[in-house]
Amino acid sequence: MPIHWDEIPHDEIRLNIYARLSHNAATRSAADSLRHILQRKLHLLRAQDHRRFIELEASRLVEHLRCTRDAYQEFVNRHNCSPVLEAHWVVLRCAVFPTAIALLRRQVIEYARLTRIRERYLSILFGIPTRTCYKNIDEGVGLLCPPDLKDDTPATDIELQSLGELIDEDSLLIFRDIRDGGSVSQLHGGGPFSTDDRRSLEKSWSLCGLPARTTLIQWMHIRDKFWHLCLPWTDGLVSFFACAQEELFSQWRGLPADSLAHEMAMKQLKWVVVPTEPRLPLPLERGRDCEELAEEIATIRHKRIRGALTIDEIQAECSSLKIWKRVEILCSEDKDTFLHPGTWGPGYANLLLGKLYADNRRNLAAGTINNWRKDYRAYLKWKEQNPTKDAREFIRELEQRKRSYRKNHAR
């Protein structure tokens, strides 16, 4: 049944989306209360507060995008729009995608406002002309120049609006027409707020580097230093962008399977669904994360010691390793140690992971990290012998063994 996009009752569907979000509001009360508390702390620039706040906001973003997708897909399915793949693709391109841009812009602006980002950093990092870039203002006319590095004035609402507008269709995702396959792609780099985004780099160089006769290559290194100086909020902006981008990729990857399943159901054929692997309990999740990061740390050390590669060469060859991102929250001294694998002593991996998992600004003991890893390795062996059992059964067995061990040693 053909339906023009303009003929779809968007206002009715929008109310349906809001109703879905309101239905889930009660279950989010604990998260919302934490969010209110964290909002007041963001200007203190504590990495842990920013990381937790971003996790909460990212969860709300994903929930909104999925509710939008589900509400529109239910409408096109109810009206038997076909082919189903094309109908669902239009929902993603014309409803979910613009919603993602609008929500992401709003979240970025609000996050920057709560963090009280300085004007000068918007100019240096993203090439946004701010008040501090104008000198000798006379009757509304001023000379545009690099920002005053001593000016600590927070960015104005208009300047923050310009920050949000860095998110556009080209930067977030590029859609190919459905008649040409409907594929999606992205620009090179981590988005407009990252260190490797070409557009932001060139704009900031034109505003700040070029007037000082600095080459683009030189400015790239200067800008990179300022980006790390502004942690954790620079990484926070990158995380917001990455979350929205990955969710859109996830929904796009789900299009063929979702559509095929629907068409098979319409033909009254039996369809077998293979469920995804359930999420592991938190203790095992932490153990798996630490085990994977420890393996990455060992890889870096091996390539430096055995392969005689420089740290820059290792990072270029192994750019997909998660550890590069994780260590950005460390202090400068710990970062410097990480970038010199030859100085790592025995047990360095557990010591580093203890800092990455710091609780209330206190590092976790290396022994705690080691126990998490040992428990996860024990779970993998247990799973081989008990493939049909749930991970929670392993946790119960593990706790019983630990209680029995403590009881025996207490006698």
Q: Is residue 167 located within the same domain as residue 290?
A: no
Residue 105 lies in a domain: yes
Residue 272 lies in a domain: no
Number of domains present in the structure of the chain: 2
Closest by CA position to 304, among listed 351, 333, 339, 348: 339
Number of C-beta neighbours around residue 287 at 10 A: 23
Q: Is residue 260 located within the same domain as residue 299?
A: no
Q: Is residue 316 located within the same domain as residue 205?
A: no
| The pLDDT value given to residue 90 | 84
Structure tokens at 112: 């920057």
Provide the 3-class DSSP secondary structure of residue 359.
strand
Residue 274 lies in a domain: no
Q: Is residue 261 located within the same domain as residue 301?
A: no
Give 298-310 as a DSSP string. Answer: HHHHHHHHTS---
| The pLDDT value given to residue 167 | 93
| The pLDDT value given to residue 410 | 61
- Contact (CB, 8 A) for 370 and 380: no
Residue 271 lies in a domain: no
Q: Tens-digit pLDDT profile for the chain (411 aa)?
A: 456 677 788 888 888 888 888 766 666 777 888 888 999 999 999 999 999 999 999 999 999 999 999 988 888 888 877 677 778 888 888 889 999 999 999 999 999 999 999 999 999 999 999 888 877 655 555 567 888 888 889 999 999 999 999 998 888 888 777 666 667 777 777 899 999 898 999 999 999 998 888 899 999 999 999 999 999 999 999 999 999 999 998 888 887 554 444 444 444 333 333 333 456 788 888 899 899 999 999 999 988 888 888 998 898 888 888 899 888 888 889 999 999 998 998 899 999 999 888 765 678 899 999 999 999 999 999 988 888 888 888 888 888 888 877 777 665
pTM value is: 0.61
Structure tokens at 331: 């202090």
Reported as type and span, the H/E element at residue 117 is: none
Q: Which amino acid is at 220?
A: M
Between the CA of residue 156 and those of 45, 131, 164, what are the distances in Å? 19, 9, 13
| The pLDDT value given to residue 275 | 36
Residue 103 lies in a domain: yes
- For 399, the domain range is 282-410
Q: Is residue 256 located within the same domain as residue 286?
A: no
Residue 88: partners with Cβ closer than 8 Å, 6 or more residues away: 73, 76, 255, 258, 259
Structure tokens at 91: 């929902």
Residue finishing a domain among 266, 292, 316: 266
Give the C-alpha separation, 204 to 230, whole Å: 15
Residue 406: partners with Cβ closer than 8 Å, 6 or more residues away: none
Give the C-alpha separation, 147 to 343, whole Å: 39
| The pLDDT value given to residue 176 | 76
The residues with which 184 forms a beta bridge, in sequence order, are 175
Q: Provide the 8-state DSSP code for 193.
A: T
| The pLDDT value given to residue 260 | 45
Closest by CA position to 200, among listed 212, 211, 186, 187: 187
Q: Is residue 13 located within the same domain as residue 153?
A: yes
Determine the Cα angle at 330 with ends 328 and 339, to 5°.
70
Half-sphere exposure of 302 (CA within 13 A, CB side): 7
- Contact (CB, 8 A) for 408 and 400: no
- Cα 347 to the center of its chain, rounded Å: 29
Q: Is residue 260 located within the same domain as residue 306?
A: no
Number of C-beta neighbours around residue 284 at 10 A: 21
Q: Is residue 262 located within the same domain as residue 321?
A: no
| The pLDDT value given to residue 383 | 87
Is-cis flag, bond preceding 232, omega within 30? yes
Residue 335: partners with Cβ closer than 8 Å, 6 or more residues away: 327, 328
Q: Is residue 218 located within the same domain as residue 290?
A: no
- Contact (CB, 8 A) for 116 and 43: yes
Number of C-beta neighbours around residue 306 at 10 A: 8
Q: Is residue 40 located within the same domain as residue 117?
A: yes
- Contact (CB, 8 A) for 193 and 164: no
Residue 90 lies in a domain: yes
Determine the Cα angle at 154 with ends 34 and 220, to 5°.
100
Q: Is residue 248 located within the same domain as residue 359?
A: no
Q: Is residue 129 located within the same domain as residue 251?
A: yes
Q: Which amino acid is at 358?
A: A
Residue 56 lies in a domain: yes
Residue finishing a domain among 266, 292, 320: 266
Residue finishing a domain among 206, 240, 266: 266
Residue 94 lies in a domain: yes
Is-cis flag, bond preceding 83, omega within 30? yes
| The pLDDT value given to residue 41 | 92
Provide the 3-class DSSP secondary structure of residue 176.
coil
Structure tokens at 281: 């309990």
